[in-house]
Amino acid sequence: MTELETIRHSCAHILANAILRIWPEAQFAAGPPVENGFYYDVDLPHRISPEDFERIEKEMAAIIAEAQPFQREVISRDEALFMGERGELAGLTPRPEASKFKLDIITRIPEGEEITLYRNGAFTDLCAGPHVADTSKVAAFRLTHVASAFYQGDEKNPQLQRIYGTAFPSLEEMENWFAMLEEAKKRDHRKIGKEQGLFHIDDAVGQGLILWTPKGATIRQELQNFISGELAKQGYSQVFTPHIGKIGLYKTSGHFPYYKESQFPAIPEPDQLERIASEGCGCAEMTARLEAVSELFANSLNERAGKEIVSPERVMDPTRLLDGFMLKPMNCPHHIKIFASQPHSYRDLPVRLAEFGTVYRWEQSGELNGMTRVRGFTQDDAHLFCTEEQVASEVQGCLELVKKVLTTLGMSDYRVRVGLRDPDSNKFTGNPAQWDLAEQACRDAAATLGVPFSEEPGEAAFYGPKIDFVVKDVLGREWQLGTVQVDYVLPVRFDLSYTGADGKPHVPVMIHRAPFGSLERFTGVLIEHFAGDFPVWLAPEQARILPVSEKVAEYAQKMVAEMKGKGIRATADLSPEKLGSKIRLAQLDKVPYMIVVGPKEEAAGQLSIRSRQRGDEGAIAADAFIQRIESEIRDRTLTV
């Protein structure tokens, strides 16, 4: 337990203690610390609601004020059972009812393991600890909400009330935390997305499927243009591939059927489907026939891998196999087939294939969340095929790209995680010497970034080491965004090769990388990061001209046409509203530049500029303003 978790778990004891002072019959189950707080599960006829919180918190505050020491006591199993029978565990005194959940917990403690009590004041709990020295160390706490939960998470067990709270080592830290939560609510991308009309999710289309509205699509297009420009500089080639591929591709890659829980089901070929339906084939059989492979397929894959990766149980008579398609869960196999479509010499390498490739994953509906957890998303994906000697410089190039992306967007607070293999685990394929080289390459590349990085053994993908960028947003929340992964496995599985300087065939190394991760998730994070105030290059509407009266409507339209001609996203508000309400509307729409024009501006060929960040800037020559906004867009400046 961390220090903070210890404070929070200790507060759970204080909560139980307080509840017993009010409802002595309460029975308690588990009270662990959780992310952002703690809970305690309680069984009580009274239904606890937020209206009860004040009363409970008052008792908790009294217990904290008493600075009751937490005292540890080792007892025998028999003593523990005796106390449980008397209702003393998670109790204040012996009670007519046994501590039924605690008695059950005792039966789950392995024989020979130490059983401990912790007491504070009159309250005794069965607990392994640790706790703070005394109750006063819980300097700040608050009850937050109540939910219901089955004992041990099993719906056959009684339903309990789960009381949630949080605690901090100081009042200031707690106040900061709740202020941050408030701010996070204001910045919620689902809320801002709706207010500004950036994207839409429609039940008729499907949950977790993002409809990019014109404004959101503008942001996405700008992000794509930005990445495409950087990729061109780094010598990538753009490719396009379809949204589906034959099942066999994913059987070869190993993504099917092993990850089928997170994929949409396979789509059988229509003529085969008709045939098997007429034969009376059921769903279960159809699934088995889609998932199986021929003996030839199994043997050749096993031979290439040098071990049994397709078990004999998956082999079926080829006449019974069904063929079909999958919505692609990843882009790698398609890119591999582009690489394999022509012979390569070592002189062609590295080959860098990039695509904004849309993939589909099955997420449980409870997991879906706005743009950040979806069922269809577009990766800013690329696959690099290189020689072993090129891995280090290619990984470094990928990291530079992610760094450029994050810096341009003002996400300068990030750390880098280098996922290495766990030397004691055998789930990592490939040869150890190759791994050592690749890991050193990743470490060296990470070190050149000039940002803190941590090495995390056991966090590699099974096919090679990887590097993740973990970005802290303005609220201090961490998001895992860009990733770079080195892969020795897929090239072998797909039998890739190039001709080396020695004239012999060699297996290339693959690197998978995506600086944004997915455009959906990244845009969701960006909306929250900027709180909807996008920098001018990303803003769906970059400038809005507000004529003070109808007399200057023509001048306003002329200016809009001129800006549009230069690629600036400008509009004019020609409504009959007063200037004040036009300004308010433009502010609500978060337009970076509001431009007021009246007869005076028209006569002088000027524009009165109001920048969202700098406020009123007065009248300047129209040409000068257009030049300025053009350069801000071109340079992707963050402030306007």
List, by residue number, the catalytic residues. 332, 361, 379, 381, 383, 466, 512
DSSP character string of 225-285: HHHHHHHHHTT-EE----SEEEHHHHHHHT-TTTTGGGSPPPEE-HHHHHHHHHTT--HHH
Contact flag: residue 137 with Zn ion (CB under 5 A): no
Minimum CB separation of residue 293 from Zn ion in Å reads 22
SS3 label, residue 595: strand
Cβ contact 31:13 at 8 Å: yes
CA dist list (Å): 637 to 408, 586, 633: 8, 21, 7
Nearer Cβ to Zn ion (7/127): 127
Amino acid at 472: K
Helix (H) or strand (E) holding 15: helix 3-22
Binding segment for Zn ion among 64-72, 120-128, 281-289, 558-566 (CB under 5 A)? 120-128
Check residue 67 and give left, alpha or beta (phi > 0: left; psi -120 to 50: alpha). Answer: left
Contact flag: residue 327 with Zn ion (CB under 5 A): no
**DSSP-derived secondary structure letter, 116:** E
Nearer Cβ to Zn ion (276/338): 338
Minimum CB separation of residue 513 from Zn ion in Å reads 8
Residues in the chain: 640
Report how far residue 194's alpha carbon sits from residue 210's, in angstroms, rounded to the nearest whole number.
Answer: 12
Minimum CB separation of residue 379 from Zn ion in Å reads 8
Binding segment for Zn ion among 209-217, 302-310, 329-337, 417-425 (CB under 5 A)? 329-337
In degrees, rounded to 5, the angle at the alpha carbon of residue 100 between the alpha carbons of residues 99 and 105 is: 100
How many residues interact with Zn ion (rule CB under 5 A)? Answer: 3
Q: In what order do the strands lie in the sheet with 570-572?
A: 570-572, 543-547, 593-597, 606-611, 615-621
Helix axis angle, 519-530 relative to 214-233, nearest 10°? 110
Binding segment for Zn ion among 125-133, 304-312, 426-434, 436-444 (CB under 5 A)? 125-133
Closest CA to 442 of 383, 490, 385, 485: 485
Nearer Cβ to Zn ion (3/616): 3
Tokens for 621? 């020559």
Binding segment for Zn ion among 176-184, 310-318, 506-514, 604-612 (CB under 5 A)? 506-514
Minimum CB separation of residue 338 from Zn ion in Å reads 13
Amino acid at 202: D
Nearer Cβ to Zn ion (262/631): 262
Nearer Cβ to Zn ion (356/555): 356
The rounded Cα 526 to chain-centroid distance in angstroms is 13
User: How many Cα atoms sit within 13 Å of 486 on the Cβ side?
Assistant: 39
Binding segment for Zn ion among 121-129, 498-506, 560-568, 576-584 (CB under 5 A)? 121-129
Minimum CB separation of residue 163 from Zn ion in Å reads 15
Nearer Cβ to Zn ion (31/598): 31
Minimum CB separation of residue 84 from Zn ion in Å reads 16
Tokens for 563? 């800006």
Nearer Cβ to Zn ion (48/332): 332
SS3 label, residue 126: strand
Report the residue from 127, 140, 591, 633 that binds Zn ion according to the rule CB under 5 A: 127
Minimum CB separation of residue 128 from Zn ion in Å reads 7
Cβ contact 439:559 at 8 Å: no
Nearer Cβ to Zn ion (118/479): 118
Minimum CB separation of residue 330 from Zn ion in Å reads 5
Report how far residue 501's alpha carbon sits from residue 496's, in angstroms, rounded to the nearest whole number.
Answer: 17
Nearer Cβ to Zn ion (354/406): 354
Show Cβ contacts of residue 134 under 8 Å, excluding neighbours closer than 6 positions.
67, 68, 69, 70, 120
Binding segment for Zn ion among 17-25, 47-55, 326-334, 573-581 (CB under 5 A)? 326-334
Buried residues in 280-302 as b, exposed as e (16+ CB within 10 A): ebeeeebbbbbbbbbeebbeebe
Binding segment for Zn ion among 47-55, 187-195, 394-402, 504-512 (CB under 5 A)? 504-512
Nearer Cβ to Zn ion (332/591): 332
Minimum CB separation of residue 399 from Zn ion in Å reads 17
Contact flag: residue 512 with Zn ion (CB under 5 A): yes
Binding track, positions 68-107, relative to Zn ion; x by CB under 5 A: ----------------------------------------
Minimum CB separation of residue 490 from Zn ion in Å reads 8
Minimum CB separation of residue 382 from Zn ion in Å reads 8
Report how far residue 511's alpha carbon sits from residue 335's, in angstroms, rounded to the nearest whole number.
Answer: 12
Report the residue from 19, 247, 332, 384 that binds Zn ion according to the rule CB under 5 A: 332
DSSP character string of 280-328: T--HHHHHHHHH-B-HHHHHHHHHHHTS--S-GGGB--TTT---EEEE-
Amino acid at 383: H
Torsion angle (degrees, nearest 10) of CA 517, 520, 525, 527: 150
Report how far residue 154's alpha carbon sits from residue 170's, in angstroms, rounded to the nearest whole number.
Answer: 36
Nearer Cβ to Zn ion (332/570): 332
**3-state DSSP of 350-387:** CEEEEEEEEEECCCCHHHCECCCECCEEEEEEEEEEEC
Binding site for Zn ion (CB under 5 A): 127, 332, 512
